[in-house]
Amino acid sequence: MDDLRHTARHLLQRNDLGLIDLWILYWNHGGRCHPFDFDAFIHEVLPVEWFDIGALQCAVQELALEAAA
């Protein structure tokens, strides 16, 4: 599952966005973790089982669509 986290980090670097921007998208899609926990998850410190992958997947897809526009 680190592929989604890797994709998120890559999109953030490519779009010159902050992690908080991705966290806001994640939160808007129903994600419920604190920004500090989100940071730890994106950087592979927290395990996948702990996290709401669906909300992150929606946020990453939205960020990718914005990058393509």
Q: Say if CB 6 and CB 56 are below 8 A apart.
A: no
DSSP-based three-state secondary structure for 30: coil
Rg (the chain; Cα; Å)? 11
pLDDT for 24 = 95
How long is the chain? Answer: 69
User: 10 Å Cβ neighbour count for 15?
Assistant: 14
DSSP-based three-state secondary structure for 43: coil
pLDDT for 2 = 56
What is this structure's pTM? 0.86
Q: Say if CB 13 and CB 5 are below 8 A apart.
A: no
Q: Where are the domains of the chain?
A: 2-68
pLDDT for 52 = 84
pLDDT tens for the chain, residues 1 to 69: 458 999 999 988 887 789 999 999 999 999 999 999 999 999 989 887 778 889 999 999 998 888 777
pLDDT for 41 = 92
